[in-house]
């Protein structure tokens, strides 16, 4: 039971990520983390350092596995911003409907806990949110001619906000069918705004 590492670091990280995802920081107790990772206390502390560092790495892993597809969706339609936004919402909704994964979104869960988070963790969360907003903004770039840049900034923030609403409501138990309605409306509105001074749909 010793000598060389008996577990896969990424697998363990996935377990920890799920715990933080479902329970946030405060309710993610060591015992829950140990159970989910399958590690002993010694192994967890020697490979990750502690609860805070484990959360930091969990967020990074979350970004690789779940934020990456969202970024990809945003970049999938470089010259049709409205379609990119739709692809983005579709990716989010697909994940929310996935029964193999906790409800909501890890970042949203942590964002709600901001007031109680240590500074480095707070920053990681803030960066995640800012990054997503920037990626949405980038996906709207094709509309920059007809629309003023400020308007696109606003619309990007708007889409990011709607995304947050989807995940909080999902945490609170709202069925995905209703969330799809919200996303559809948001898309409908953003698409209209994007086409306002240009050609029609």
Q: Can you give the binding site for DNA, defined by CB under 7 A?
A: 1-7, 28-32, 39-43, 45-47, 50-52
Closest to 163 measured CA to CA, from 95, 99, 63: 95
Measured from the CB atom, is 40 or 148 closer to DNA?
A: 40
Give the integer Cα–Cα distance in Å for 148 and 26: 43
Closest to 86 measured CA to CA, from 194, 184, 199: 184
Give the integer Cα–Cα distance in Å for 112 and 168: 9
Taking CB within 5 to 8 Å according to partner kind, which of DNA, its own copies, none is near residue 4? Answer: DNA
Cα-trace Rg, the chain: 19
Measured from the CB atom, is 49 or 198 closer to DNA?
A: 49
List all residues 6 or more positions away from 158 whose beta carbon is below 8 Å from its beta carbon: 186, 190
Per the CB < 8 A criterion, the answer to whether 80 and 139 are in contact is no
Taking CB within 5 to 8 Å according to partner kind, which of its own copies, DNA, none is near residue 192? Answer: its own copies
Among 161, 175, 197, 198, binds its own copies (CB under 8 A): 161
Per the CB < 8 A criterion, the answer to whether 164 and 110 are in contact is no
Measured from the CB atom, is 68 or 161 closer to its own copies?
A: 161
Give the integer Cα–Cα distance in Å for 185 and 179: 10
DSSP state at residue 64: I
Measured from the CB atom, is 31 or 177 closer to DNA?
A: 31
Interface of this chain with its own copies, residues 83 to 112, rule: CB under 8 A: 102-104, 108-109, 111-112
Nearest distance from residue 20's CB to DNA, in Å? Answer: 11
Span near its own copies by CB under 8 A; candidates 58-66, 77-85, 135-143, 162-170: 162-170
Per the CB < 8 A criterion, the answer to whether 178 and 96 are in contact is no
Taking CB within 5 to 8 Å according to partner kind, which of DNA, its own copies, none is near residue 52? Answer: DNA
Classify 200 in phi/psi space as left (phi over 0), alpha (psi -120 to 50) or beta. beta
Span near its own copies by CB under 8 A; candidates 20-28, 49-57, 61-69, 85-93: 20-28
| Residues forming the site for its own copies (CB under 8 A) | 22-24, 26-27, 102-104, 108-109, 111-116, 125-126, 129, 154-155, 157-158, 161-162, 164-166, 168-169, 171-173, 178, 181-182, 185-186, 189, 192-193
């Amino acid at each position: 039971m010793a000598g060389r590492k008996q577990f896969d670091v990424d697998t363990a990280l996935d377990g920890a990520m799920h715990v933080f995802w479902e329970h946030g920081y405060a309710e993610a107790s060591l015992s829950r983390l140990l159970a989910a990772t399958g590690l002993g206390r010694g192994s967890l502390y020697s490979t990750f350092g502690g609860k805070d560092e484990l959360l930091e790495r969990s967020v990074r892993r979350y970004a690789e596995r779940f934020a990456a597809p969202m970024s990809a969706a945003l970049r999938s339609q470089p010259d049709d911003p409205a379609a990119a936004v739709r692809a983005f919402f579709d990716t989010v909704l697909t994940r929310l409907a996935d029964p193999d994964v906790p409800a909501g979104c890890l970042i949203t869960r942590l964002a709600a806990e901001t007031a109680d988070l240590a500074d480095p963790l707070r920053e990681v969360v803030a960066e995640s949110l800012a990054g997503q907003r920037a990626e949405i903004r980038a996906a709207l770039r094709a509309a920059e001619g007809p629309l003023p840049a400020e308007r696109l900034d606003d619309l990007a923030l708007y889409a990011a906000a709607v995304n947050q609403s989807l995940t909080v409501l999902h945490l609170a138990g709202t069925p995905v069918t209703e969330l799809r309605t919200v996303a559809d409306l948001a898309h409908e509105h953003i698409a209209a705004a994007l086409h306002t001074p240009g050609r029609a749909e």
